[in-house]
Structure 1
Amino acid sequence: MRIALIKGDGIGVDVAEAAMAVVESALQKTGFARPSYDEIHAGAGYFSETGLDIEADGEQRAESADAIFLGAIGLPSIRHKDGTEISPHLRLRDSFGLYAGVRPVKAYPNAPQRLADPRAAGIDLVILRESTEGLFYSAATHNRSLVVNDDEVQDVLRITRKTTTKLHQYAFNLARKRRERGKSGKLTCVDKANVFTSLAFFRQLFDEVKADNTDVPVSYNYVDAQALDLVRKPWEFDVLVTENMFGDILSDLAGGLVGGMGMAACAEIGDNNGLFQPAHGSAPDIMGQDKANPLASILSGALMLDYLAEKLDQPDLGDAADLINAAVMSGFQNKALRPMEFGGDMGTRAVTEQVMSAIEEKPRLQSSVSA
């Protein structure tokens, strides 16, 4: 398999390398060959050196890979003239049509739990964020923002039938798959349909797709009420589907309930491409200091393997993903994983080595599909 690897800025380098080490360990355990990597330089640091936010042919190389893995991009000290961050990954989402932003939110034993209610230990949900339109439509390329004059700027919130219908179909399929794995499989449409015509259209399209997916239980919530409910009763939700900006905010809120952004994995899926990254930032203040929690990146690596199992029609790659997920879960269960982010004594390398060790201790699995 061919992976376009964009390490990016700050701790992106550290956590991307950690994730690929764990991915290779899981692949070896299941009998697959090591991936081939095409490392693509991109980000704020690269911009400061070259004036480009990604290598000249970087987008084409990323598009031709089987999957794209991104560490983190952006540095607070390096910005465009208008004050916005260097963010080529937003353009990649837009260019490759990566409409399905999958943000798992899962509580792990012995990891920080911010809610006192004992039911918080069972939080296990997915926020499905549309990742190409909504209010981020203007952010993908700056010329979509309308600078009226020095006193006014306008950004567009865009919802289209084509993209949103695909998003909702993905959501129903995801809810169905989760029900098959023992989850509730309830799908909640999160919007602000009572105020914005665009989001009333978002809900209308949800209902149209719902008509062909009557086996999936559904509910509805306005985004402000959903934010409240993620604090009051997050254990009652399974899959949430929502607009881009709403998903960005809600997924960070939900990440805070299960420890922090160091556990926030992310997959961004389109019809032909998939990009995988931890949802946290580049944290330049701790880059290269062996302090970053690599688990969000490692769990994103597992999401990538699940994606490749389907894309490459090699289901046994899903076994490699399961090994990673099981290693993280067992590491928290037996207190072998103690990231510094959670007040523990383990830095980036130690966490990575512990996950790899847990994978190695599992009985060897041999892929039945040629790598």
Structure 2
Amino acid sequence: MKTYRIATIAGDGIGPEVTRSALEVLTEALGSSRIAFEMVEGGATHYQRTGEVLPESTFAACRDLDAILHGAAGLPGVTYPDGTEVGNELHLQLRFRLDLYANMRPIRLLRGVRSPLRDFDGGGIDYVVVRENTEGLYASRGAGVLLRDEMASDTLVVTRKGTERIASFAFDLARSRNGAPRDGTSRVTVCDKANILRSYAFFRAICDEIHASFPDVGIDYAYADAITVHMLKRPDHFDVIVAENMFGDIISDLGAATVGGMGISPSGEIGENHALFQGAHGSAPDIAGQNVASPVATVLSGALMLRWLARQHDDPSLTDAADRIDRAVEQVLATGESVPRDLGGTASCTEMTQAICRTLAA
């Protein structure tokens, strides 16, 4: 059977701690003969030592191996002359150079986790935010205009190709799910500001065109400001949400807050032939090295990675391992055996990891 080789970037802050946890859990679920982690350098700490945020050797490994697992990158005090953080450049370079055009952020309320939304403590939140990952407002990073320290501008970019492929990704994902918790309907909600800006009206029109090829999936629309209300008042309506880069970035963080926070929020950045997986949280340097970070987001990102590899290689054993990881995490949280501090418990990063591994081994 194939051994999957994973380019692994521990990164900065709590990155090394949560990465170690994910490696332990993935190895427990699959066995060391099925998955091999090749550690490579990158991030703000590496930049401080060498002046490089993404060495070419790291890029080559990310390009050539089966998938990329990333802990966290970025340190607030390590910035470029324009004030932007160096650490972000790591996954941004990988995103653009490997064309990881779809950012997938599952938003699911796990058993044992209390939602700030009191009506949903028993469940009922289970959707995915699909964010276009290579265009939008963030395409202007490094290319905006700063004029005589008096005026600054950045350009919002929406192309037909970029929108067609992210819309197709979203509809295809909805087709593979079980529909929205409220009514079981498979649907894609298009998040935009089509009432104000031509770029977003263009984005919506192309999503409509792509929808014609997915008649079994519904479509609806929400303006970016209104969707923040809907995500709090009726999150069970959503199945898949598709959005431009910046809007997707913002609403996915809001969604994470409704299901327990960034510490349990996984993400995947996916292209045709490459994909990168990491917890949606930052590097949290204020708690680095204290063994108090939650590894859950990175562990669940590892499960997302296994599902992507299963599709790429037609290997159902990986889907089975991913399902077992998800169930183990949820069981640990639901029984209260081990609860991380960001969810109101006292478990350390190590204790949480050990509890998940014990459940997998049982």
Q: TM-score, normalised by structure 2?
A: 0.95
Instruction: Tell me the distance in 2 between the aligned counterparts of 1:48 and 1:119.
Output: 44
Correspondence 1:1-371 to 2 at 5 A: 1-28=4-31, 33-86=33-86, 87=88, 88-118=90-120, 121-139=123-141, 142=142, 144-179=143-178, 183-361=184-362
- Secondary structure of the 1:122 match is coil
> What is the distance in 2 between the residues matched to 1:250 and 1:319?
30
Verify the 8 A CA contact 1:120 1:234 in the aligned structure 2. no
Distance 2:85 2:285 in 1: 14
2:81 alignment partner AA = K
Letter in 1 for 2:262: M
Alpha-carbon deviations, 1:16-48, whole Å to 9, x = none? 1111111111102xxx72422222211111111
Deviations along 1:326-371, one digit per CA (max 9) or x if unpaired, are: 101211221223111122110100101111111111xxxxxxxxxx
**Cα distance in 1 between the residues matched to 2:60 and 2:197:** 37
Measure the CA separation in 2 of the matches of 1:23 and 1:259. 23
In structure 2, what is the equivalent of residue 368 of structure 1?
none
Deviation at 1:137, TM superposition (A): 0.6
How many Å separate the matches in 1 of 2:122 and 2:239? 13
Q: Tell me the distance in 2 between the aligned counterparts of 1:57 and 1:138.
A: 27
Aligned to 1:367: none
Contact 1:145 1:155 in 2 (8 A): yes
Does the Cα contact within 8 Å between 1:71 and 1:297 map onto a contact in 2? yes
Q: What is the RMSD computed on CA atoms of the aligned residues?
A: 1.5
- Whether contact under 8 Å (2:339, 2:346) holds in the other structure is yes
Alpha-carbon distance, 1:198 to partner: 0.9
Q: Secondary structure at the match of 1:121?
A: coil
**What 5-or-longer segments of structure 1 have no aligned partner?**
362-371
Question: Counterparts of 1:200 and 1:3 in 2: how far apart (Å)?
Answer: 40
Amino acid at match of 1:265: P
Contact 2:191 2:221 in 1 (8 A): yes
What is the alpha-carbon distance in structure 1 between the residues aligned to residue 227 and residue 268 of structure 2? Answer: 22
* CA shift for structure 1 position 117: 1.4
Which ranges of 4 or more aligned residues in structure 1 deviate by more than 6 Å? none
Contact 1:105 1:125 in 2 (8 A): yes
Alpha-carbon shift at residue 119 of structure 1 (Å) = 6.5
Assess if the C-alpha contact under 8 Å between 1:340 and 1:347 holds in 2. Answer: yes
**Offset, 1:120:** 6.4
Q: Taking structure 1 as reference, are residues 118 and 68 closer, same or farther at Cα in structure 2, changes over 3 Å only?
A: closer
**Count of residues in Structure 1 that have an aligned counterpart in Structure 2:** 355
CA, structure 1 residues 118+5, in 2 after alignment: closer, same or farther (shift >3 Å)? closer
Please list every run of 5 or more consecutive structure 2 residues that lacks an aligned counterpart in the other structure.
none
Matches of 1:194 and 1:337, distance apart in 2: 47
TM-score by length of structure 1 reads 0.93
2:9 is paired with a residue whose SS is strand
- In structure 2, the residue corresponding to 1:5 is in which secondary structure? strand
3-state SS in 1 of match to 2:167: helix
Contact kept in structure 2, 1:40 and 1:55, CA below 8 Å: no
CA deviation after TM superposition for structure 1 residue 180, in Å = 7.7
Q: Match for 1:229: what amino acid?
A: H
Deviations 1:89-131 (A, max 9, x none): 1111111111111100111222131012146622111111111
Counterpart residue number, 1:364: none
Q: Distance in 2 between matches of 1:285 and 1:181?
A: 38
